[in-house]
């Protein structure tokens, strides 16, 4: 390679590579500060202490969990859009918390995201200890979306989203007819109709809440545990906490095999 070729290559390197790396660095810095502000928002929203339900404004909250909201599907013109935005019920469930904790851990592990505090991660794991199925008498990791409550009539534990029950309890004991008339008078007739329909279907909702442990919740917990196992040097206490809550992981695979969807071949064949 002659001197002038070398000089040419150096020139190319200076004109092409340097501005590129500068731009890259700049966009990496922008991405980094975006990730950092997201991280700060998300970590600040983790519940810091248990709070009781104080009707009608303050929902029951549990330390370590992340907020998840139930909204109603009001759709249509502007006022309905407004109702959908404004009206929500705070709902604790293990899926949101385990999923958000996993995302934070993964962004640190794979994406150079900020390191969460071990205290926050341990609080998250501890907050979902209540979500293991209580209907079997052995230690298990069969997870329920909502906490369970004992029903003495059925001698069984069933899912009980307490804030949704608080809401429907209040709704059941309130005479909304004056409020509905008021909505009608100020021109929000559609909302009045939807509210009346909603309140009429309370029992349907309460039934729909009684769901058993399921695949999503069970495996998001397992995913969180395996992530913590890979990161146990960095989060030893959180990992130990997860292990102490999940002493029989075999229970997951037994249930997976038992409940796996198997179309019945005999029936298919006989129908052909």
Ligand X SMILES: *[C@@H]1O[C@H](CO)[C@@H](O)[C@H](O)[C@H]1NC(C)=O
Q: Give whichever of 21 and 248 is closer to ligand X, judged by the CB atom.
A: 248
**From candidates 3, 57, 86, 138, binder to ligand X by CB under 6 A:** 138
In this structure, are residues 70 and 91 in contact, taking their beta carbons and an 8 Å threshold? yes
Interaction of residue 178 with ligand X, rule CB under 6 A: yes
Among 143, 145, 108, 140, which Cα is nearest to 228's?
Answer: 108
DSSP code per residue over 208-262 = HT-----HHHHHHHHHHHHHHHHTTTT-HHHHHHHHHH-S-THHHHHHHHHH---
In this structure, are residues 136 and 81 in contact, taking their beta carbons and an 8 Å threshold? no
What is the tally of helices (H) and strands (E) in the chain?
13, 4
The length of the chain in residues reads 272
Which range of residues in 60-68, 85-93, 111-119, 151-159 is near ligand X by CB under 6 A?
151-159
Total binding residues toward ligand X, as defined by CB under 6 A: 15
Interaction of residue 137 with ligand X, rule CB under 6 A: yes
Interaction of residue 200 with ligand X, rule CB under 6 A: no
Each residue 206-245 as x (binds ligand X by CB under 6 A) or -, in order, gives ----------------------------------------
Interaction of residue 174 with ligand X, rule CB under 6 A: no
Each residue 253-272 as x (binds ligand X by CB under 6 A) or -, in order, gives -x------------------
**CA 107, 111, 117, 122: dihedral to nearest 10 degrees?**
40
Which range of residues in 16-24, 72-80, 88-96, 248-256 is near ligand X by CB under 6 A?
248-256
What's the CA gap between 87 and 188, in Å, rounded?
15
What's the CA gap between 202 and 196, in Å, rounded?
10
Closest-approach residue to ligand X (CB): 254
What is the nearest approach in angstroms of ligand X to the Cβ of residue 271?
A: 34
What's the CA gap between 63 and 124, in Å, rounded?
8
Interaction of residue 154 with ligand X, rule CB under 6 A: yes
**From candidates 34, 37, 151, 244, binder to ligand X by CB under 6 A:** 151
Residues binding ligand X (CB under 6 A): 137-140, 151-154, 175, 177-178, 248, 250-251, 254
């Amino acid at each position: 390679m002659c001197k002038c070729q070398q000089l040419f290559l150096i020139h190319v390197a200076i004109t092409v590579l340097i501005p590129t790396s500068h731009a890259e660095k700049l966009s990496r810095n922008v991405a980094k500060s975006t990730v950092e502000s997201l991280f700060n928002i998300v970590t600040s929203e983790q519940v810091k202490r248990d709070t009781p339900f104080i009707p009608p404004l303050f929902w029951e909250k549990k330390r370590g969990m992340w907020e998840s909201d139930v909204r109603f599907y009001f759709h249509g013109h502007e006022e309905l859009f407004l109702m959908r935005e404004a009206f929500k019920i705070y709902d604790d469930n293990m899926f949101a918390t385990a999923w958000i904790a996993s995302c934070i851990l993964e962004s640190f592990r794979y994406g150079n995201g900020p390191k969460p505090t071990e205290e926050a991660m341990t609080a998250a794991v501890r907050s979902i200890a209540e979500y293991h199925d209580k209907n079997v008498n052995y230690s298990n990791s069969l997870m329920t979306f909502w906490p369970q409550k004992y029903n003495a009539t059925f001698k069984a534990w069933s899912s009980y989203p307490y804030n949704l029950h608080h809401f429907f309890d209040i709704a059941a004991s309130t005479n909304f007819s004056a409020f509905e008339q008021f909505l009608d008078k100020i021109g929000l007739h559609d909302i009045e109709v939807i509210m009346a329909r909603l309140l009429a279907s309370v029992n349907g909702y309460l039934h729909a809440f009684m769901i058993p442990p399921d695949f999503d919740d069970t495996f998001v917990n397992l995913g969180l545990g395996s992530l913590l196992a890979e990161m146990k040097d960095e989060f030893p206490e959180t990992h130990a906490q997860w292990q102490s809550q999940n002493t029989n992981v075999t229970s997951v695979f037994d249930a997976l095999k038992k409940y796996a969807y198997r179309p019945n071949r005999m029936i298919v064949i006989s129908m052909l």
